[in-house]
Each structure stands twice: as C-alpha cells, then as structure tokens.
Structure 1
Amino acid sequence: MEVKKKNMGLVLAGLLLGILMASMDNTIVATAMGDIVGKLGGLDKFVWVTSAYMVAEMAGMPIFGKLSDMYGRKRFFIFGIIVFMLGSVLCGTATSIVELSIYRAIQGIGGGALVPIAFTIMFDAVPIESRGKLGGLFGAVFGLSSIFGPLLGAYLTEYAQWEWIFYINLPLGLIAFVFIAFFYHESRQHAKQTIDWAGAITLIAAVICLMFALELGGKKYAWDSWQILSLFAGFAVLTILFLIAESKAKEPIISFKMFKSQIYWSSNVIGILSGAAFITASVYIPIFIQGVLGGKPTNSGLVLLPMMLGSVVTATMGGFLMTKLKYRTIMIPTLALLIVGLGLLTTLNESTTLWTLRFFMILVGLGIGASFSVLSNAAIHSVRPQERGSASSTLNFLRSLGMTLGITVFGIIQSHMFTKKLAESMSAGGGAAGEIPKELDLKDPHALLSPELRKAIPPQILENISTAMSSSIVQTFVWAIIPAALALLAAFFMGRDKMDPHAELEGEYQAGH
C-alpha cells in the first residue's frame, strides 16, 4: 500500500538507514581486523568474525523475505533493526575473538532481514511513477555503503577505537526504528501460508557448510583435507535435499516458478557474476595501495572513493531511466564499462600514479552502479505483490553468494600467483628466505599491510615481495574479467522488459516472457 505523502520522506529515510547499516557491516570490519586481533588476540580464529556475519545474513535473507510475504514487512524489518542493534552492542563489549564471532552472528541475523525487506517495502509503498528514481537512490546507498565501509572502518580504527565500528550503528538504528515503527502503516491483509521448515533447515545448513568450507579452506585446513572435503560434501547433499524440499513444498522459500521468467533468472545470474567481479576490485585495490605502494589504511580507503562516486552516478541514472528504457539497454553498456575498468586494472604496476588508479576505479564504479538499482526492480518486475519479498531476498542472497565466492576463488588465485612470483623473484635476485621476518605470513596478503612489519624487511626483499604482490593482484584482475563478461552476456537475455505501470496494475504473474 502507499504511505501518506507527509510520512513518505521519513519512511524512506528509515529504509535507507537500514540498508546503510546492514550492507556497510559486511565491509567495515575488514580494515579494522588488524587492530581487533591486536587487542583481543585469536589470530587463528579471526576468519570467524567475518564468516559468522555472512553465514547468518545469507541464510536469513530468503527466509525473512518469505516470512515478510506471509506476515507483513514491517514487523520483520523492525525485528531486523532490533536484533542488529543488539548484536552491535554486544560486539562492542566482546573480550575475545570467539565472543565477537558469536555476536557478529547475531548482527547477521538482523542484517538478513534489513536489506531485502527494505527494497520490498519501497516497492510496496512508493507510487509506481516514483519507483524508478527512488530505486536509483536505494541502489546508490547500497553501493555506497559497500564501498564506504572499508574507508569508515579505517578512519575509526586510526582515530578512535575499534569498538566504534559497531557502536556507530546505534544512533542510525534508533532513527530507523522510530521512522518505520511510527510512520509506516501497511495493509493488514497478507497471504497466510504454511512455513517451509524443511526448506529453511536445509538451506541454512547448506549455507553454513559452504561458508565454513570457503573460509577455512587453504587457511586453517588444506583444500584436500577431510574437514574441507566433508564440508563441501555436506553442502552438496544438503543442496540436493533443499531442491527436493522446495519442489514438494506448497509455499517454498525460493520458488522455482519465478525462475521461469526470463527477466528474473537473468537478473539473478547478473547479480551473482557482477558481484563476484566487483568485489575483487574492492578487496585488492586497498591491498595494492598498502602492500605495493606502502600507503596507510586511510589512503587505501580513499582510493575507493572514486569507485563509490561512479557507482552512485550510474545507480541513480539507472533508476531514472528504468521507466524510459529496457532493463537490458541500461545494463549492457554499464557492464561493458565494468569490463573496461577491470581491463585497465590489469595494467597496474609499482609506478602507477594514484590519479591513474582513481580514473580506473571511476570506470569500475560506473560499471557496477546500475546493477544496484536496476536488478532489484527487474527481479520484482514479473512477480505478484505477495511474492515480492521472496523475489527481492533471493536476488540479494545470490548477489552476496557471488561476492563470497568471488573473494574465495580470486583469493586462491592471488595467493597461488603471489607465492609463485615471489619464489621466482627471490631465486633470480639471490634472496634468502631466512631474511624474511618470521612473523610475515606470505600466504596472507594482509601481512604486508603493517607499516611496522614493512620496516623490518630488508629493502631488496621488500622490493621482491612488492613486485610479486603487484603481479599477483594484476593476474587476479585478469581472471575477474571472466565473470564480468559472463554477466554482460546474461544481460542480453533480459528480454524487452522495462518498468511498466500498466502491466503491474493488472496484477498478473507473467511466467515466461
């Protein structure tokens, strides 16, 4: 239903703050991890701090999306805000890495409700003639928060204390809670459906197995160890059980019939692939700045600003153009820009200037921005109103999965190339492995980000390491072009659809166009 015009601004502000908190918390911790581990210890367990949040968030997205279709958006959005703030408070009081990981999982449960339901409420509450430009705004905030997180995390860690990366959520969450609780009034009429418990349990278990395998593989355990192989086997078995459960469920959490729509399946495929390509630049450009050029955390965060600005531009433009142009007409040229930007990143070396790098990052941002606004609307385009929550949450779930797979797969590639190039340069230069400080873990690119540790490395050895780091990151960007190119290919399958008010007002589910 539509919200009264006088309350519309407050409701939208509340939704935007919810998106800002949840999506930013995916990345804000990354640049603060060095300080957190230094204060709390537990270097061998720090991967759980990130994985606990992502597991809980990804598992919760499709479930909360479905529940919001059944029992209403408002109650689950408010539930998400409360749980997210509770998790944030607990994170700030953690005294060990184990405690922090548990509290991050609580945060993740809240985050799993916030992002997909915010987009769905916007689609429900906003008059159709305004959805394009507001969809662009929502997409811009989503993209901005994904990139702004590392910068804010670096700033708070350097000039305040690490606890503030969590406490900063409290004022944002309180404002969002007040705006939605008191000014958003939704219809009481919802589709009462049976809960797909088998689907929910197998989905959560499958996601947990996959995330733990990706997080622990190559770090705590070898990829061919029985622990990692067992997790992958568990993921495969549980995924099959999930698919069986969904095919038999009367009201499945992820409805297969939605994927019969060409616009729906192509939007989800683009979301997975573009997310995997985009996250590579977000992760490895800061490492390049600090590990190769020797910059500070704030320097590396600031280099992401041009990408952030570029993404905001095309996210906003995409929103405005949705009612005028076909979805694919917007996505094809922007994804082509993403490929160009990643292609230019493959030319980086130790002599690359910051201005050149900023220009490349602007192109990457322009290339990914439209996906944040256009895909969210395209995915909901062909479904009935009572299925919007499920459709939106499935897209966000798959986009997050794409980013997670991208970080892992390209992380393996970068680590392998780094080790290979370093061995070659050390052999050619006559460097001795014994000259490398014992505390330097060459399998972890973040080990080179510490200014103190860099000072302890002899200049010749540091030059060899920096050269190997630069070469390995460039090679990673070469591989990242592949999912970007496949996303561009998928955009050609989006059909001839665009945002059409008349088609939606008919309220019909169009299964196969």
Structure 2
Amino acid sequence: MVGLALGMLVACMDGTIVGTCANVISKDLGGEELYSWMITTYLLCESAMVPIAGKMSDRYGRKPLFLIGLILFAAGSIFAGLSNSMLMFIICRGVQGLGGGILMPVAMASVADFYSPEDRGKVQGALGAVFGVGSGIGPLVGGALCEYINWHWVFFINIPIILVCILFTVKKFPERKADTSKKIDYAGITVLTLIILDVLLYFQWISGEMEFISARSIGMIIIGIILSILFVSIERRIEDPVLAPKLIHSPTFVKASTYMFIMGLAMIGTLTFIAMYMQQMFDIGTMECGLYLLPMVVGMMITSMGSGMLVNKTGYRGWIVAGSTLIMAALLLMYTMGSDPNKMLLFVYLFIFGSGLGCVNSTVMISVQNHTSIENMGMTTSAVSLMRNVGSTVGTACYSLIIASQMNSKFADSIYSFVNDIFNFNGTGLIALRYVPGFDIPGQATLAETIVEIFGTSVCAAFLFGGLIYIVALVISFTMDKKYTVSEDENRH
C-alpha cells in the first residue's frame, strides 16, 4: 500500500508541478517556441500509455508493470533535471509521462487484487486523497523549489521517493502468474495510441494556433474517424483485445466513464486557470499561489477518506450526488467573483470544490471495480482513467478558448484597444500588456487595471461553463447504484 501511494503521489505531482516553474525553465533552456510542449508532452504520453498499461498488467501481473513504470519515471526525472536544451527536456518529460501512465492505472487496479469489495472503499479513499494531495501540492512544491533552490530539483526530488517505492514494491508487492496463452493485441494497441494522440493534439492545437475550419483541423477529424472505425473492427475480431468492445454493454462502465470525463474537464480546466487567476488578481508569486490552493487539498483529503470509509455502508449514489452538487455549486460561486474577488470567499469556494472532488473520485472508481472481473480489472480501470485524462485535455482547451474569446472581445471594446494594434497580442497573451508603460489615459482606469479586470471576468466566464457542464454529471450521479452493489464474477464484464 505504501509503495502504491508513493508511486501515485509522484505521478500526480508531476502532472501539475511544472506549471508554476515553466517560465523559469524556458528562460534557462531557451526554445520558448516549444513552451506549451513542456506540459503537453507529459499528458500525451501518459494518456497513450494508460490503456496499454492496464491491459498488460492484466496479462503479466501488476508488479512487473509497476516496477517498469517506476524505472521509466525515475529515468525521465533524472534526465529532465540534467537537461541542457528544451528538446532534451521535452523528450524526458515524455519518458516521465510513460512512467506516470503505468503507475496510475496499475496502482488503482492493484487495490482490487489485494482487497475484498468490502475493504476497497477505504483503500481507494486513501489513494484518492493521495491523488488530491499530489495534484494540489504540485504547484506549491514547484514554486518553492524554483524560488529557494533551482528548477532542476523539481525533478531530482522524485528520485528518493521512487527509490523507496521500488524497495516496497520488490519486497511487499505480491506476485501474480503471467497469462501468456493469448496473443498480444499489437494492432489494437497501435491504433488506439494513434486515436488518443489525434484527439489530444486536436484539442491542444484548437485551443492555440489552429483554426476550427482549416485543412489541418478537418484532416485530424477525418483521421480520427477512420482510426476509430478501424479500431472497432480490430477489437471485434481479436481474441484478447486491449479495450474490449463489450465494455460499452456495461451500464456502470458507461456511466462512470462519462462522469469521469466531465470531472476531468472541470477539475483540470479549473486548476489550470485558478492559479493564473489568483496570481493576477492578488499579485502573488508561484509559491504563495500554491499555498492558496491548500483549502482545496484539505477538502479533498477529508471527503476522499470519509467516502472511502463509509461507502460500503451508505452506497455509491449519495456520495456522487453530494460531490456533484458541491463541485457545481463551487464553480458557479467562483463565477460570481469577477475581477475583484474576496480572498476568504475564494478559499471557501476552493474548499467546497475540493470536498466535491473527494466525494466522487474514489467512489466512482470503486463502483466500476465492484462490477468488473479480476481478469479484466486493469483494462477497465485504465479505460475509466483514460476518459478522465481526455476530459482534462478537452477541459483545458475549452477553458482556453472561452478565456481567449472573452479577452479579445472585451479588450477590443475597451478604450485601450489601440495599444494592441501596436503589439498584436491574443487571448491570455494580452496579460503582457499589463506591464507595458506609457499608455495610461488620464481620468480613466490604467491599462494594467483594465487588463486585470478583463482577465478576471474572462476566467470567471470559464468557471460558469464548467458549472453548467457539471449539470450533466449531476444528472448521471442520480442514475448510479444507490446501494453498495457488488456483481458476481459471472455477471461481470
């Protein structure tokens, strides 16, 4: 359990830790034109590896896959810290992502191997708390290390934790006999990986420089459709598919996957921009920004542990409905903050948001695992995790598009619109105008004040989008099993 928790901790932390020190790294290594790939590469490689790792752990056992994940993550961390060019750094982040894509689904699937359905809630609740802590303290740790030591230690700090993980895994992780009787679905793995990359890159680029109606955009959509048709054809004919088509016949899996997609959309979209929002509204640094996120982390820890301990007595639906309501309420309340937020109210809203996430994250995963056979546990768990990852990318893209559209429109209507005729910035790039002197108009709000106001209201518009989208998740939550149901093996998929 300790090894699983520590492995998840480093994987979750590294998903968010780079965001606060990305500017420092890009200035040191150069290659600013590759800036967005510093974060994107990790997510792409992690998402591509998740379904493969889940299926391979069903076949060859969790222990060897978990060790491979730890070794890849350690290697990526060491060489990322030693990088002397942006290209080398991005490649190393990709290696880290491959490791993280193994650690997350294998850790969650292992819970079902080691614990009975009656005890899974407590353990998944603990891992859910680790997920929240890792995601939440990533910006704080990254900011502190950059500020007080240097950015290299953002990656070197992983090494001692991973060494402890390896020690626990080698000594304590139970062995499981490998099943090599069936052929590996190489064709399915290849096509699924291409589909994941196509979808994630589409949303990454559409939130940046790629236009909705363009040859590249339409081409990626057509490629995605063709690959999806090919993938379904392959998986229907293969004896042991990497992602079995029969999963869609499980109502629990379909509802859980859809829910986790929406949760990933709202969670990562909000986390990505709430930090930037606080930095601009309160004029604070990266480390202080990380501290401001602690109420969310505390809320997530409390409800994740609480739901895990009580779900086998109370059932799934109550926790998921409560969590969905809290998340939706928090996002709608954050929408009301605008460009002049009250700091204490923001802390309360973040606590509510984190509490909601803690209620649902582990509970949804437990419901899926309790309706899945052990031989398919890795595949099913990883498929649900993949949907959360895809939702994260889509959410970040949607939030980016909304904020950019709002900022461009509001600034074009402002008295300072002439300034951008000179600099030609776009979207969140307009924030750079805040630091341009010499354009203030007497008797009017300064250029800097105007930019901050526009950015604040634009980010809050994205929070409104997240809150409205979560209405769908709330509806789904009312359809989840009310009691703590566990299917017999012969009825499981």
Q: Give your verdict on TM over 0.5.
A: yes
Deviation at 1:432, TM superposition (A): 5.4
1:391 aligns with 2:375: no
1:145 aligns with 2:134: yes
| SS class of match (1:30) | coil
| SS class of match (2:262) | helix
Deviation at 1:314, TM superposition (A): 1.2
Note if contact 1:328-1:495 (Cα within 8 Å) is conserved in structure 2.
yes
1:93 aligns with 2:77: no
* Cα distance in structure 2, aligned partners of 1:100 and 1:449: 26
Note if contact 2:112-2:374 (Cα within 8 Å) is conserved in structure 1.
no
* Cα distance in structure 1, aligned partners of 2:383 and 2:436: 43
Note if contact 2:403-2:427 (Cα within 8 Å) is conserved in structure 1.
no
Aligned equivalent of 2:44: 55
1:314 maps to which of 287, 303, 307: 303
Instruction: Please list the CA deviations of residues 358-404 of structure 1 after superposition, one character each: whole Å capped at 9, or x if unmatched.
Output: 00111111111122211221111111111111111111111111111
Aligned equivalent of 1:3: none
Amino acid paired to 1:126: Y
Aligned equivalent of 2:408: 419
Evaluate the alpha carbon distance shift between residue 208 and residue 457 of structure 1 in structure 2; reply closer, same or farther with a 3 A threshold: farther
Note if contact 1:151-1:298 (Cα within 8 Å) is conserved in structure 2.
yes
Amino acid paired to 1:52: T
Amino acid paired to 1:475: A
Evaluate the alpha carbon distance shift between residue 113 and residue 296 of structure 1 in structure 2; reply closer, same or farther with a 3 A threshold: same
* Cα distance in structure 1, aligned partners of 2:466 and 2:150: 35
Amino acid paired to 2:418: A
| SS class of match (1:26) | helix
* Cα distance in structure 1, aligned partners of 2:422 and 2:161: 43
Evaluate the alpha carbon distance shift between residue 258 and residue 457 of structure 1 in structure 2; reply closer, same or farther with a 3 A threshold: farther
2:431 maps to which of 426, 440, 448: 448
- Which deviates more from structure 2 when the two are superposed, residues 80-89 or residues 316-325? 316-325
Aligned equivalent of 1:462: 448
Aligned equivalent of 1:431: 416
1:226 maps to which of 197, 210, 215: 215
* Cα distance in structure 2, aligned partners of 1:499 and 1:367: 22
* Cα distance in structure 2, aligned partners of 1:108 and 1:275: 17
TM-score between the two structures when normalised by the length of structure 1: 0.90
Instruction: Please list the CA deviations of residues 204-224 of structure 1 after superposition, one character each: whole Å capped at 9, or x if unmatched.
Output: 111122222222335344343
Within 5 Å, which residues of 2 pair with 1:10-29?
Answer: 12-29=1-18
Instruction: Please list the CA deviations of residues 435-489 of structure 1 after superposition, one character each: whole Å capped at 9, or x if unmatched.
Output: 8984x944235x73899x4778857111111111011111111111122111111
2:467 maps to which of 478, 481, 495: 481
Aligned equivalent of 1:237: 226
Amino acid paired to 1:366: S
* Cα distance in structure 1, aligned partners of 2:134 and 2:34: 26
Q: Which runs of 4+ in 1 moved over 6 A?
A: 454-457
Aligned equivalent of 2:315: 326
Amino acid paired to 2:473: A
Deviation at 1:509, TM superposition (A): 3.0
Note if contact 1:287-1:449 (Cα within 8 Å) is conserved in structure 2.
no
* Cα distance in structure 1, aligned partners of 2:453 and 2:346: 17
Deviation at 1:248, TM superposition (A): 2.1
Note if contact 1:277-1:406 (Cα within 8 Å) is conserved in structure 2.
yes
Tell me the C-alpha RMSD between the 2 structures: 2.2
Aligned equivalent of 2:351: 362
Amino acid paired to 1:492: F
Instruction: Please list the CA deviations of residues 15-68 of structure 1 after superposition, one character each: whole Å capped at 9, or x if unmatched.
Output: 001101112211111111111111111121111122211111111111110011
- The number of residues matched between the two structures is 489
Deviation at 1:263, TM superposition (A): 1.9
Evaluate the alpha carbon distance shift between residue 437 and residue 296 of structure 1 in structure 2; reply closer, same or farther with a 3 A threshold: farther
Aligned equivalent of 2:198: 209
Aligned equivalent of 1:492: 478
Deviation at 1:417, TM superposition (A): 0.6
- Which deviates more from structure 2 when the two are superposed, residues 91-100 or residues 216-225? 216-225
Evaluate the alpha carbon distance shift between residue 349 and residue 455 of structure 1 in structure 2; reply closer, same or farther with a 3 A threshold: farther
Amino acid paired to 1:333: A
Evaluate the alpha carbon distance shift between residue 465 and residue 122 of structure 1 in structure 2; reply closer, same or farther with a 3 A threshold: same
| SS class of match (2:68) | helix
* Cα distance in structure 2, aligned partners of 1:455 and 1:165: 34
* Cα distance in structure 2, aligned partners of 1:283 and 1:57: 18
Amino acid paired to 1:508: E
Amino acid paired to 2:398: V
TM-score between the two structures when normalised by the length of structure 2: 0.94
Amino acid paired to 1:135: Q
Aligned equivalent of 1:4: none
* Cα distance in structure 2, aligned partners of 1:332 and 1:224: 38
1:267 maps to which of 256, 273, 278: 256
* Cα distance in structure 1, aligned partners of 2:433 and 2:71: 36
Amino acid paired to 1:443: G
List alignment gaps of at least 5 residues for structure 1.
1-11
Matched residues, percent identical?
A: 28
* Cα distance in structure 2, aligned partners of 1:166 and 1:450: 32
* Cα distance in structure 1, aligned partners of 2:162 and 2:439: 44
Instruction: Please list the CA deviations of residues 64-102 of structure 1 after superposition, one character each: whole Å capped at 9, or x if unmatched.
Output: 100110111100000000011001111112122221111
* Cα distance in structure 2, aligned partners of 1:456 and 1:366: 45
| SS class of match (2:183) | coil
Instruction: Please list the CA deviations of residues 170-226 of structure 1 after superposition, one character each: whole Å capped at 9, or x if unmatched.
Output: 111110011001221223264743211121111111112222222233534434332
* Cα distance in structure 2, aligned partners of 1:153 and 1:457: 35
Within 5 Å, which residues of 2 pair with 1:19-418?
Answer: 19-188=8-177, 190=179, 192-418=181-407
Amino acid paired to 1:448: I
